């Protein structure tokens, strides 16, 4: 019987587990701690959207471990499954941003001071996702050290091959190149995988775009965050960063000059 078989889980040892204890709800629901005094009615939403995003970042990073193992083993169908799940998760985290569209600037200003020097640019998990996805350009590497030394989670991601490298190695194992999969109809799973990786890039850029719009909507275009020195202008630049330049370049080669 496999350790994940439901029958093995229903034995006596787990009888005391219920919804609340399994999910550690008592601890989880203790973790939203608005700092404004008197408590600003919008601060709870602000905290929860950020905390929920960090939880999704955690599971995205977890799923990247599976994706990397599958890409490295050359298993295209399993890699396709993994990147599809990641794309679903990125969609969820992106859609959550809209919860803050209902926060007008003057209301945010009423509790912004209580955030101290917090800034989303200090999100270690976000930087780890960018690193594991393959960002290595100087603009990104500069942002990594904006708040001190590179955290171990990010360093671990930087030490791994980029997704683009892993995908290239997978194609080599299958004896094809990016050009070849785009030129023929034969390697369908490989082509779907390439397209799904591009979908990931687009999904991530969608988060960046909606986030920068949210920032401009709530604090304006010229300003930096509460503690960050990067600001909305920095965020605008990040939209053009690419995880898979080779997959974009193939478009230029196939359609360029037409």
Residues that bind ligand HEM (CB under 6 A): 49-50, 53, 97, 100, 103, 108, 119-121, 123, 126, 143, 211, 214-215, 218-219, 224-225, 228, 230-232, 235, 238
Dmax over Cα atoms in the chain, in whole Å?
A: 69
**Residue 118 half-sphere exposure, CB side, CA atoms within 13 Å?**
12
End-to-end CA distance of the chain: 59
Closer of 111 and 167 to ligand HEM (Cβ):
111
Q: Is the peptide bond before 38 cis (omega within 30 degrees of 0)?
A: yes
Distance CA 248, CA 4 (A): 40
Burial (CB < 10 A; 0-12, 13-18, 19+), residue 237, is: middle
Let me know: does 97 contact 207? Beta carbons within 8 Å.
yes
Closer of 81 and 123 to ligand HEM (Cβ):
123
Let me know: does 160 contact 171? Beta carbons within 8 Å.
no
Q: Where are the alpha helices (DSSP H) in 73-119?
A: 76-96, 105-112
Let me know: does 174 contact 187? Beta carbons within 8 Å.
yes
Give the position of tokens 């905390």: 51
């Amino acid at each position: 019987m496999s350790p994940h078989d439901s029958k093995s889980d229903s034995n006596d040892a787990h009888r005391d587990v219920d919804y609340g204890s399994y999910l550690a709800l008592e601890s989880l629901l203790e973790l939203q701690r608005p700092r404004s005094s008197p408590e600003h009615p919008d601060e709870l939403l602000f905290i929860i959207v950020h905390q929920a995003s960090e939880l999704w970042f955690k599971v995205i990073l977890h799923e990247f471990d599976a994706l990397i193992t599958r890409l490295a083993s050359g298993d295209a169908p399993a890699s396709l499954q993994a990147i599809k799940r990641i794309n679903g998760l990125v969609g969820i985290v992106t859609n959550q941003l809209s919860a803050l569209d209902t926060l007008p600037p003057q209301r945010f200003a009423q509790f912004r001071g209580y955030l101290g020097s917090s800034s989303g640019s200090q999100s270690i998990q976000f930087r780890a996702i960018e690193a594991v996805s393959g960002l290595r350009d100087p603009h990104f590497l500069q942002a990594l050290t904006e708040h001190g030394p590179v955290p171990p989670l990010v360093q671990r991601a930087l030490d791994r091959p980029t997704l683009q490298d892993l995908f290239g190695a997978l194609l080599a194992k299958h004896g094809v190149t990016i050009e070849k999969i785009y030129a023929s109809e034969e390697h369908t799973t490989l082509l779907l995988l390439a397209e799904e990786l591009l979908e990931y890039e687009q999904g991530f850029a969608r988060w960046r775009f909606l986030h920068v719009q949210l920032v401009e909507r709530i604090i304006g275009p010229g300003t930096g965050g509460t503690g960050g020195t990067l600001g909305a202008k920095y965020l605008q630049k990040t939209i053009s960063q690419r995880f898979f330049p080779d997959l974009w370049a193939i478009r230029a080669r196939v359609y360029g000059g037409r």
